[in-house]
Structure 1
Amino acid sequence: MATEKYVCSLTETEIEAAIEQLREDPSTRAIEIKTLRERLEKYPGLQARTDPYFLLRFLRARKFDQEAAFQLVINYYKARRDEGEIFDDLKPSRVRHVFESGYCTSLGITDKKGAAVVLDKPGKWDVDRFSELDLIKADVVTIEKLIEDERTQVYGICLVVDYAGFGLSHLARTPPSFAMRLCRLWQDVFPARLKAVHIVNEPGSFGSIFGLFKPFLKQKLLSRIKFHGSKYSTLHEDIDAELLPEAYGGSAPDIKDTVSFPVTCDLTIHNLEAP
């Protein structure tokens, strides 16, 4: 796989965005990939994917900073080794029930800056049917699928979290370890650029909910979180209303009338050896 030829799928506009936002240089891209690959191949005990498509995810996620990209790859494989509860035998079919519940959906749209929009609805969590670990697994599957797309690698992901229906029964089943794991995956493990987080329909207990996550959020991500309540007009400042479902003041079909994340997709999450 290391010798696989890379063919860029980005448009001219997207390449310009990668140059401007990520410091990507098409003329030295192959050298950057080769440099990262050679360093990973020398790391004791690590058996990582080293094809250009895979390594570019990490280089782009860290704006072609070789040291930061290298550390992100190591974090990625260490998480797979250490978080067996999440990653062992993880396939989309294993969390079909979570996707069918409506908890996590890739909307197939982008915000005004080009980031792919993902909708999480914690209130859809059926605490009697599945655990908080299943929620993390569904998020992992979604992220893994989205970052296969080079465009998403460049423009990142926009997360909309709808807390409608989230109650005390959910809060009681949300330990600090859940918040810690999820925050770590987003910030330090996955080669995904989380560009914006929009919180809508926050309940009265939201202070307690956010209090679980805040200690694990870095300032950079904290600065990207916006709270909208039920005032969707402010959400529309960042995501075009005509693209959003009617439930969020938009004109697109509601979630129940759209195709949810493809739980039968051909995604394979490899659990390779990590140091």
Structure 2
Amino acid sequence: MTTASSTLLGGTWRLGDRTVTRFGYGAMQLAGPWVMGSPADRDGAIAVLREAITQGITHIDTSDAYGPRITNQLIREALHPYPESLLIATKVGANRNAEGGWPTERRPEDLRRQVRENLESLGVETLDLVNMRMGDATGPQPGSITEAFETLAELQQQGLIRHLGVSNVTAEQVAQARETAPIVCVQNMYNLAHRHDDPLIDKLADDGIAYVPFFPLGGFTPLQSAELSRVAARLGATPMAVALAWLLQRSANILLIPGTSKVAHLRENIAGAGLTLSAEDVAELDSISR
């Protein structure tokens, strides 16, 4: 078994040789508007990161492209030297341009540079987990991941990366990556309304690999549906709490990384994810994607 008990609701999951809380934290929202520049409230951003650790979270997701380089700097300022229990996952394969776009950068030399930049900005000698980001801003795209993933596997062999994962990928790209090197997680868009990865989640669960949904609450446009609102009203909870609780109950290999820039909102997310959904609740929520 890869799960165990935890003080945080949802328990834990084993990512390679590390045990992390299934409820984690995504740092993307700590940067400025549209994930560009510094936050308006830097002290508030630092407080959120420290509160995440106080709450028992041991899995933080980031990228040097956020800002760019802003969220990693905030993480280092708030938490370095890092607790031994903390796993920081980052990703490479895309960068930011002056217009706020996300151009791809997947040549071997690009990936080596991005890994070095993450090492520098986080202040570590080895990155805990690096996700190879594929596709583009619209989602996964067909194409081979092999050359890019081979580059990360080489950096792993050099001791610069501990564990590897993939992000924004098709099921075929997951298989290609696994032919090159072991992976510990897949990070794709997934939530109550976007369930295209259901078969992949079940396959990964059977193989002991984590699935980390980004935009678990709908992204820049929050989840909205009559079914979600009805279940939330019945439980006396917020729709966002119900959506997080549903993800934790969907499969034991799902790890949550909801983001926020407010301490109060972080606490609300943690408490909300602890809702227990009945079979009736789940059936009604499952109808959303259909």
* TM superposition score normalised by structure 2: 0.32
**Larger helix fraction of residues:** 1
**Larger strand fraction of residues:** 2
Which structure has the greater CA radius of gyration?
1
* TM superposition score normalised by structure 1: 0.33
